[in-house]
Chains A and B, each alone.
Chain A
Amino acid sequence: MDLALALAATGADDVSDPSDFPESFGILRTLDRTLRCPICKDLFNAPVLLGTCGHSFCSLCIREALKEGEKKECSACRVPTQESSIKKNIVLEESVEAYKTARSTVLALANDTASRKRRREDSTNGADLTPRPKRVKRESSGQDVDLGDERLEESEDSEVEIIENSKAPVDCPICDQKVPATRINAHLDEGCPHESVPEDKGKGKAQWAILLGGPGGKKGAKGGRRGSGRERDRSSSPPPRPLAKVSYHTLSNKQVRGLLQDQCLSESGDRKQWEQRHAQWITVYNANLDSSKPKSVDQLRRDLERWERLKARDEKEKEARVSRVDAKGYEKSQDEHFAKLIAQARASAKGNPNTIRQGASSEKPIEISSDLEMEPESGEAAQATVHIAL
């Protein structure tokens, strides 16, 4: 099958990864890899840092991971953590944004250099050992190292800052408000009253303006819940705070609907869907606060609707597939391919251990089921097309 087509069909044709860079540019592959979230493997999107261990993820990725697990731990190193340890990673975001802008150019240059080098080697049969690519390599490797170091230092710095600066406000683990560190115990004892904390200077009020008047801005939806919505109603124009999590099992249906109404979310579906919708809303809403270019709340609501549609689609397709796969008995088409491997295995048993190794690595299971309509070299063809598609 054609990978590029398949990607396009799923809407994932912009999937990128470090191996987009030619093999001879290992340094660029490394650079590309360090700017990717270890959870989604995409370039960081609104990256955040876990203050507890220093690992970085997309805000949405780590928030979903923390939502899922019963144990709250860093997905990378498993050090216990919690949502309140999530901090914006501003320098990383700037680096990634700059890199996203530069990537296609860098990729084109690298591909160009690599193919020119290949052509030259073809013509001179490798006699001339390429002074030019070498120069490019050194330059890029310099950049690579610099960027890496800068990023590391920065994340260490901010971690130290978080720990040492006891005057800095801390996030209340219950209501997620910023509370002066000196007042946090009293705040908890008093059952989370509204706290006024001097805002970070230079936060860029204008940037937040689009978010204001969003959730919580809608007054009058009284549902008898202690909710973070109340505090926001009162405040005139501070940056929006993260929404607090909700334990749905203690709430009545009416109260859960009230929560949805508060956030102007759809009340369609059953109770389970309401809870999932609201929980996901809290996650995407809070993740959006970590982006330096936050989306409007309306856009977030549309994203949430799409998320629900995709989720429903994936689940439905998955069910359909299970029965389809069983029905068509695709094992049949496999046998032929499998027999090939077995023949190789036999050959290797007869004393050539390398046959199987090479044989197996050049075969892709994906080719098996579509054997009928495919030319033998499609594995390579698919890779080539991907390059172009990117």
Chain B
Amino acid sequence: MLGGSKKTQSSTALRRLMTEYKQLTTNGSPDGMFTAGPVSEDNFFEWEALIQGPEDTPFEGGVFLARLTFPTDYPLSPFKMKFDPPLFHPNIYPNGEVCISILHTPGDDPHMYELSSERWSPVQSVEKVVLSVISMLAEPNLESGANIDCCKLYRENREEYERRVRQMIEEQLEVLE
């Protein structure tokens, strides 16, 4: 019954994704900071996550949608994460893609200074990655910038950066009204 003959009927990736989804559904995320799950029942390799802007940051009060795209060899390779619509943040590319070391494999390193200890390994999970992204929202990593203008603004004019972020949240709320 457990891990028996049925086990081989679904691929490793699919089983892992189902397990993670089941766990997130049953336990929820810490403090209910985000939710995540497959987009539809016939599509377990495309998830989306709804993430609350962390408190005491300019992102507070926002709710952000991110697409998670899993490779067929997950969890050996990491998934991709893309905010839709994109967020104005030093570590998020203007197209919304998140640049964070935990989603880079040791071999694939756009930023040589990322510690390999912070990179992807098959024991990481959706939950760990999303929590890392939430803490990245609160504390950008200027060493691995993805949005150069935003990095510059963050460094040189924090007040204006925070205003831009709040303005972005306002605009997103309006667009989607």
Are B26 and A19 in touch, CB under 8 angstroms? yes
B89 to chain A, nearest CB (A): 18
A367: min CB distance to chain B, Å:
8
Across-interface contacts of A1 in B (CB, < 8 A): 40-41
Question: Which of B70-78, B131-139, B141-149, B151-159 contacts the other chain?
Answer: B70-78
- A312-340 contact mask (Cβ, 8 Å, vs B): 1 or 0: 01110110010001000011001100110
Taking a contact as CB atoms under 8 Å apart, the answer to whether A358 and B32 are in contact is yes
Smallest CB separation, B45 vs chain A (Å):
5
Tell me whether A104 is interfacial, beta carbon within 8 Å.
yes
Taking the closest CB of chain B, its distance from the CB of A133, in whole angstroms, is 20
Contact with B along A192-227 (1 / 0, CB 8 A): 000000000000000000000000000000000000
How many residue-residue contacts, CB under 8 A, span A and B?
199
Give the total of B residues in contact with A, Cβ under 8 Å.
Answer: 69
B96 touches A (CB below 8 Å): no
Q: Assuming A303-B8, A325-B43, A360-B32, is B2 touching A383 (CB within 8 A)?
A: no
Pick the contact of A16: B2, B27, B55, B177 (CB < 8 A).
B2
- A174 proximal to B (CB < 8 A): no
B135 CB, nearest partner CB in chain A, Å = 17
A24 at the interface (CB under 8 A from B): no
A370 in contact with B40 (CB, 8 Å): yes
Residues of A within 8 A of B26 (CB): 17, 19, 383, 386
A357→B52 contact, CB < 8 A: yes
Whether A366 contacts B37 in the complex (CB less than 8 A), given A17-B22, A64-B76, A311-B72, comes out as yes
Set of chain B residues within 8 Å of A162, measured between Cβ atoms: none
Interface residues of B, dominant DSSP? mixed
Q: Given A339-B176, A348-B61, decide whether A314 and B3 contact each other with a Cβ distance below 8 A.
A: no
B140 at the interface (CB under 8 A from A): no
Contacts of B23 in A (CB 8 A): 17-19
Q: Is the interface of A mostly helix, strand, loop or mixed?
A: helix
Q: Does A9 contact B (CB under 8 A)?
A: yes
| A residues near B116, Cβ cutoff 8 Å | 71, 78
Q: Which chain A residues border B105 with CB–CB below 8 Å?
A: 69
Contact, CB under 8 Å: A306 / B61: no
Q: Choose one: B22, B40, B63, B65; the contact of A19 (CB below 8 Å).
A: B22
Q: In this complex, what residue of A is CB-closest to B40?
A: A369
Report if A365-B47 is in contact (Cβ < 8 Å); known contacts: A14-B2, A43-B2, A360-B63: yes
- The one of B4, B41, B176 that contacts A370, using a Cβ cutoff of 8 Å: B41
In contact, B15 and A12 (Cβ under 8 angstroms)? yes
Whether B110 sits at the interface, judged by CB under 8 Å, is no
Q: Which B residues touch A108, using CB under 8 A?
A: none
List A contacts of B11 (CB < 8 A).
Answer: 307, 310-311, 313-314
Number of A residues near B (Cβ < 8 Å) is 79
Nearest residue in B to A71 (C-beta to C-beta)? B106
**A12–B7 alpha-carbon span in the complex (Å):** 7
Cβ-defined partner of A356 (8 Å) among B19, B43, B63? B63
Residues of B within 8 A of A6 (CB): 18, 41, 44
How far apart are A346's CB and chain B's nearest CB, in angstroms?
7
Q: Could you say which of B9, B40, B52 contacts A11, with CB atoms under 8 Å apart?
A: B9
- Is B106's CB under 8 angstroms from A45's CB? no
Q: Roughly how many angstroms separate A306 CA and B161 CA in the complex, as a whole number?
A: 53
Among residues of A, the one whose C-beta sits closest to the C-beta of B24 is A364
| Nearest A residue (CB) for B48 | A365
A15 within 8 A of B: yes
13 contacts between A and B (CB under 8 A): A1-B41, A3-B25, A14-B7, A45-B7, A307-B11, A330-B39, A339-B177, A341-B63, A342-B173, A361-B28, A364-B37, A365-B49, A366-B21
Give chain B's interface residues, CB within 8 Å of chain A.
1-4, 6-16, 18-23, 25-29, 31-50, 52, 55, 61-63, 65, 72-73, 75-77, 84, 105-107, 116-117, 121-123, 173, 176-177
* 10 nearest A-B pairs in the assembled complex, by CB-CB distance: A361-B32, A11-B9, A366-B37, A19-B26, A11-B10, A38-B123, A70-B107, A314-B72, A12-B10, A1-B41
Beyond the given A17-B19, A314-B45, A360-B34, please list 9 additional residue pairs across the A-B interface where CB-CB is below 8 A: A1-B40, A42-B15, A65-B121, A68-B76, A307-B11, A314-B13, A335-B176, A344-B63, A366-B39
